[in-house]
Structure 1
Amino acid sequence: MYKVLLIRLTNLDNLIVNSVRTHLMNMGFEVEVNEEIFHLNAELFNWERWQYNADKLLQLVKLTFERYPYDAVIGIGEADGFSDGLNFVFGLSTKKYGLVFLSRLKEEFYGRVINSSLYIERTLKEVTHELGHTLGLGHCNNKECVMNFSVSVEDVDKKGKYFCTSCSDKLNINNKS
């Protein structure tokens, strides 16, 4: 069983954190939540873009949590992030460490009416997606698999929130408990 640590990059609603925790536990992961907020460092903020540098933040998370005994550490925050060469990222991961930026998963980011259930669903998908990367999975061609690549929030909506059979088998997990 994989051990996962969820860290809050910002002050998150407990409903979000508990939904993610429950979703991952139902998939067979052992999940702990670090209750302290890992505050986003102002030095990581790009004032011209109004976004956080995901590459630098990921390195900081890695340095901070590298001695912790987890298979994966996922930071989640109400923020917008970018990576070199990209306008934005929903998330970014390396082996063992991942980040998920929630701002663009909200309907109101696009000037639409707030939809909390859709926001939670998108969050589950993106956290699960980045978790897959931290555990060694690449992108999947199966359009229903959570590991399918998303370039827009509409792409996030189209895919499922679980790993396909092939990706589940690679991780040796029970996919849809």
Structure 2
Amino acid sequence: MTDPTWNAEFTRHFDLTADSMRFTAYLLCGNWHEAEDVVQAAFLKLYLAGPKLARRDGLTAYTRKIVVRTFIGERRRMRWRREKLTDSPPEMPSGGEHIEDRLVVWQAMSVLGARQRAVLVLRFWHDLSVEETASALGCTTGTVKSQSARGVATLRQRLGPQYADLWQEVSRRA
């Protein structure tokens, strides 16, 4: 038996956050089809857990946590499956300054492991604190800091000195 109050709340939450969660999953996966699968699984998990939740005031953060953990879980189960690089750039929302730089950085992220990519997306795309990122990933703040440092170091090495301004910005926010 489903709770009609939860059904209405879930529908409202889905309508407000589905696009954002889909884009977060895309940043993590690099593939719209896989992102759709991750988001679908995440919203199903949320729907099933919803009636048992003691508090529902942080549904967006909780949903993001489910999306990230679903992505990481899928990557663990399918280690043999690797992302395939293409000649065409990924679909990104239009607008914003330095979109070319974002595309280059995003493509460079394809070399990172699932956990490092998740840390960087949560820290620098969603602007979460170290503590919030650790909570979303179910790990320690030390793990977030080390994964962030390693991921940024890998990107810095891959992209080279022409992105020095970007690294100053990242270092300031880290």
TM-score by length of 2: 0.31
Q: Give the number of the structure whose alpha-carbon radius of gyration is greater.
A: 2
Q: Normalized per residue, which structure has more strand? A: 1
Q: Normalized per residue, which structure has more helix? A: 2
